[in-house]
Amino acid sequence: MTMNSSNERRRKRRSSAIVILILAVFFVGLYIYSKTRISGTALTSHNYMNRPVGSYWVNDNWGGNGGVTCCSKMSGDTAKVVWILSMSKAQEDQGMKIERHEELMPMPKRKAGDDTLHVYFLPGNKIELTWSATTLDKNSFRENTTKSNRE
């Protein structure tokens, strides 16, 4: 009887050790995953031109219609920005046409916590990009910005 209870205790300890090992591997894996993954990026725009931007893309991630899109993967040192200028009814009546523009530019530096890429459309079809920690942060404009090469 003592031999049987000794074996039973050994089996319980072994089972407990296996459960603890499995849980430890799971939590270590979860920790590594959370530290190495690229989190999703929100994409938003601010238009300072006299024409509406109907749609735009940054590295093939769509944005447009004045809203915020989520959750894109943004990485790399360069950003390919493509945008389509729409027009108001009055501009259409004056003979304006829809225009497509494209710019390859450096991706701005991204700090920890930055999850939103702001695209600024400026007069003369100039583009500025900046990261911030919120979709509403217009104060980051010019702080950590890359500018288009258009003169």
Would you state the pLDDT for residue 57? 96
- 38-74 as b/e, with b when 16 or more CB fall inside 10 Å? eeebbbbbebeeebbbeebbbbebebbeeeebeebeb
Sheet holding 69-72, edge to edge: 69-72, 41-47, 116-122, 126-132, 145-147
Would you state the pLDDT for residue 141? 53
DSSP 8-state symbol, 48: -
Q: What is the three-class DSSP state of 130? A: strand
Can you give the pTM of this predicted structure?
Answer: 0.66
pLDDT in tens, 85-141: 988 888 889 988 889 999 999 999 988 888 899 999 999 999 999 998 887 756 555
Q: Which helix (H) or strand (E) holds 29?
A: helix 2-36
Contact (CB, 8 A) for 78 and 105: yes
